[in-house]
Amino acid sequence: MLGAVPGVEVRVLGPVDVRAQGVPITLDRPLERALVARLALARGAAVSDQRLAEDLWGDGELARPRERLRVLVSRLRASLGDAAGAVSRSAAGYALDAVPVDLVAVEEAAGRVRDAVRAGDVQRVRGAAAEALACWRDTALADVRSVPFAAAEGDRLDAVRLDLLVERVDAELALGLTADTATLAPLVAAHPLHERLAGLLAVAHYRAGRQADALAVLAALRRTLAEELGVDPAPDTAALELRLLRHDPALAPRPPTTRLPVPPTALFGRDGEVEALTERVNQARVVTLTGTAGSGKTRLALEVARRVSRPVVWLDLTPLRAVDELTPALLDAVGLEAGQGDPVPRIATALRGALLVVDNAEHVVDPAAALLGPLLRHGDGLSVLVTSQRPLLITGEEVHRVGPLPAPAAVGLFCARSDADPGPAVEAICAAVDRLPLGVALAAGLTRVLSVEQVAARLDDRLRLLVGGSRDAGVRHTSLRAALDWSHDLLDDSSRSVLRQLAVFVGGWTLEAAERVVSGEGVAAAVADLVDRSLVTVSAGPRFGMLETVRQYALDRLAASGEEEDVRARHLAWCAAHAAAHDVREETAQTVASLFAEWPNLLSALEHAPGTPRAADGLRLALSLDDAWMVRGQSAQVRRIYEALVDAPGVTDSERVRALSNYAFACAQSGRTLMASHLLDRAEKLAVEDDERMRVLYHRGVTEIERGRPAEALVPLRSGLAIADRLGRPVSSSAFLCSIGMALMWSGELTEALAAHTRANDIDRSLDDEHGLVRGLVNEATVLLASGRVAVALDRVAEAERLAVRLGDTVGLTHVGMIRGRAATDPHQAAGLFRAVLAQAEPGTDADLIRVDLATALLRSGDRAGAQSIVDDLVAGQTEEGLVWLVTRPVLAALTKDPELAAATVVEYTSRSFGWPPSVSLLRRLT
């Protein structure tokens, strides 16, 4: 029976490939490979001896076909080793417990192509067709085409591949993109009567500026049709020919829609490089521009990006702080959301035929190389242009070093930025900064306070510093360091002080923030001066910032000044005041957005507080951000911050109790319930006041729920509710009721759970607590849905969604999507909803529970392999036997058809008083 021997996979879209549990199996004999392919194509059905013999050896007279098959199957089983049981024998013939996984994937994608074609959604057509085509490794059944059945089946699969290619190219041309004529021309030659293919080649030629070639393709088609079939081209083909002659604007390529950075100035002295690089990025897979910091790599890459006639995606890596931020940044740049599995194939599909510009990669060279290497292997027609001080050292990389500007160009840049006239003094200044564009620009900025001659008169000492600067000075390059030193030395004392103090800001700042953090008078005037000197940038708002190189230089100056502790203390104080003024529970969506606009600054203040006299204040800032973290569900970030600050000296016991409890909550949400329990034990010993005890009791209850022990959670939760009600704390009462409802729901007590959630929501409505109401509504909807009251549940979900969208509550939106997926009756629709919400969910319990829902939907839809893959990942990722572990077990039992596992799970549920209805219902069916 299909599925009895898991882990055997066969691929036929290329040389026949057989794997058992992911490990390749070598089949040296072509007939063994052909037999595997033929049986896999039967999709688990038995193939009769007569049919199998004719397919393998032809329909001529064959001596003792049954005996020959028996010998062949025996050899195959020996080659399969432990997977030999995948081949079975019955009265109906031989069968293989495997399917052609790549062909199945193609058929699924082809179905999406057909649906998208009917819907007129060319973007979906392009994506689905590209996904299907990516399954081909080579010509289908390439190594067994001499076998009779493989010749016919291979021709059929060739036709499928051609049809998908036509759909993809047609969609790309409909989107206004260009197509690769070098790929299309041989196909047209091989299929001279394929009118649609010829039409696509004609349009591709036309978009490449070759109208004559386009018309020649259609003329050749017309002759071939007349000579071989005696017919004229179809009306659509004739109409296309007329449109080509009339230069129909609809046939012209569309310009890239990606917004590129605005060039700050005209480009000087790079015309030859721009022309050569524009040609190279259309031929090479990856070109890396290397050179000294400030040599103009970004400006050169931008000019190339503006000139290529293909879609361009610009990815600036400057803001990245951690290597794990690279993939999310690329997903965001191409307009994709995070999801399960390897994102590289999805990114490659979105970037097909595009130029990806990766700017400022020098500080993340290793992860950039690790991402771009596989991306280029998957990408069809993708080229990458990188700017970095170091090459990536990946296969196929062409390195182009960006050197100093030619002397006339450097002088032209200096004069354009300073309004100075060319002359010997300008030439000397440009030479002193090695004719590097950034150095020239910084030097030109000095002419706002000094004449060109005054600058030139200072060159003797400065020139020695530029050439002989120390290489271990702690900045990106000695020449850039020298240029920045030069600019810094000519600032007045006030501007120098402001520059180094502003360096504590990460992600920019407002003028009001600068005036709170920077000591001294005249901060606004100094900021304006620094903007004028190109040491500080300004954007809409207005909001100010620094190039990262300048900021690092200024930080070095701050450390050397002995002022850093005081400045960081003021920065932390400003962050605390900003957080206090933007309470996510009490303010509008606009002020919530203002809070998150300063998130890089808030995180920086928290990350620099541990181990300093500011540690206690850092912990207090972390405590003030609890609601913000709750809205965003960033449990990993919370754990990291509290781990560093929870033992900060100088805080009160009450603050320590809050910190330990909040740290425990983040651990519990990440499935680390043992750590959470340990932290709560510490907090309990310090808790004296009722408020402190309530907090510990609440988080103890949440932790017990996460441990998969809802009945045990009710004890601390009900104790905490009694205290909250006695003290008249409605917000706390609502929180306890919400968690009590969750514990009752997981216990299967739906009526009591609904009553608890209804009471909590009544409290939140009376308090106008919209953030609390979002949680309460989705919890109430979850219980209603589990009770079979679908329509009412979806009404609650709709109300929760309206609030969550307005408040920017991403966790609430995750729950909304999860409930909608559970409410869907069509398992395919449900799977799509779960995948969409997973793309936005933060890692943790919620995301894992959605994966269980997705696996269940896939199982219902018949996609056992997809469900098994998800469950395998979940099982492998569980270090504790908690809530996710309990909910996963019934799905695992259903997949493995293991009655012992199902029975053991029933026992486990009973011992824990766990009664989540969907899981219990599945177990009942299994037992």
Closest CA to 746 of 918, 921, 885: 918
Q: What is the CATH number of the domain that holds 36?
A: 1.10.10.10
How far apart, in Å, do the first and last CA atoms of the chain sit? 21
Domain ends where: 155, 175, 195?
175
Expressed in percent and rounded to 5, the helix, strand and coil fractions of the chain are 65, 5, 30
* Rounded CA separation 32/2 (Å): 21
The answer as to whether 782 is a domain residue is no
pTM of the model: 0.50
**Strand 397-401 vs strand 17-20: parallel, antiparallel, or unpaired?**
unpaired
Say yes or no: 390 and 454 in one domain. no
pLDDT value at residue 503: 93
Residue 87 pairs with which residues in a beta bridge?
Answer: 96
Give the burial string for 132-163 (b: 16+ CB within 10 Å, else e): bbbbbeeebbebbbebbbbeebbeebeebbeb
The answer as to whether 266 is a domain residue is no
Q: Which residues span the domain enclosing 613?
A: 564-651
The answer as to whether 671 is a domain residue is no
The answer as to whether 712 is a domain residue is no
Q: What are phi and psi of 539, to 5 degrees?
A: -135, 180
Centroid of chain to Cα 505: 27
Beta strands in 202-339 (DSSP E): 286-290, 312-316
Residue the block writes with tokens 């009339």: 246
**How does DSSP assign 113-149, residue by residue?**
HHHHHHHT-HHHHHHHHHHHHTT-SSSTTTTSTTSHH
Say yes or no: 379 and 414 in one domain. no
* Rounded CA separation 86/805 (Å): 51
Domain count of the fold of the chain: 7
Residues near 53 by beta carbon (within 8 Å), at least 6 away in sequence: 62, 65, 66, 68, 69
* Positions in the chain whose pLDDT score sits under 50: 1-5, 255, 461-479
Q: What are phi and psi of 400, to 5 degrees?
A: -120, 115
Say yes or no: 76 and 107 in one domain. yes
Question: Please, are residues 42 and 96 in contact by the beta-carbon 8 Å criterion?
Answer: yes
Check residue 100 and report its DSSP letter: B
Closest CA to 760 of 742, 794, 733: 733
pLDDT value at residue 294: 72
Q: How far is CA 632 from CA 627, 636, 638, 762, 807, in A?
A: 9, 11, 11, 24, 11
The answer as to whether 540 is a domain residue is yes
* Rounded CA separation 166/129 (Å): 9
Say yes or no: 37 and 137 in one domain. yes
Say yes or no: 83 and 22 in one domain. yes
pLDDT value at residue 63: 65
Say yes or no: 22 and 151 in one domain. yes
* Rounded CA separation 813/778 (Å): 9
Q: What are phi and psi of 338, to 5 degrees?
A: -65, 155
Centroid of chain to Cα 415: 44
* Rounded CA separation 358/370 (Å): 14
Burial of 473 (0-12, 13-18, 19+ CB in 10 A): middle
Say yes or no: 31 and 165 in one domain. yes
pLDDT value at residue 321: 66
Centroid of chain to Cα 576: 31
Task: Look at the chain and count its residues.
Answer: 927
Say yes or no: 129 and 193 in one domain. no
The answer as to whether 773 is a domain residue is no
Count of CB atoms within 10 A of residue 785's CB?
21
Percent of the chain residues topping a pLDDT of 70:
90
Q: Is the previous residue joined to 422 through a cis bond, with omega within 30 degrees of 0?
A: no
The answer as to whether 314 is a domain residue is yes
**How does DSSP assign 590-628, residue by residue?**
HHHHHHHHTHHHHHHHHHT-TTSTTHHHHHHHHHHTHHH
* Structural tokens at position 677: 């329990």
* Rounded CA separation 908/708 (Å): 10
**Strand 312-316 vs strand 17-20: parallel, antiparallel, or unpaired?**
unpaired
Beta strands in 345-434 (DSSP E): 355-359, 383-387, 397-401
* Rounded CA separation 913/75 (Å): 53
Largest Cα span, the chain: 103
Say yes or no: 510 and 603 in one domain. no
* Rounded CA separation 680/674 (Å): 10
Q: What is the CATH number of the domain that holds 337?
A: 3.40.50.300
Alpha-carbon dihedral sign for residues 604, 607, 611, 615: positive
pLDDT value at residue 411: 92
Closest CA to 238 of 253, 216, 219: 219
Domain ends where: 374, 401, 428?
401
**Strand 93-96 vs strand 87-90: parallel, antiparallel, or unpaired?**
antiparallel
The answer as to whether 558 is a domain residue is yes
Say yes or no: 161 and 86 in one domain. yes
pLDDT value at residue 4: 42
Say yes or no: 558 and 568 in one domain. no
Closest CA to 532 of 501, 572, 490: 490
Domain ends where: 364, 386, 401?
401
Say yes or no: 850 and 874 in one domain. yes
Read off the amino acid at residue 255: P
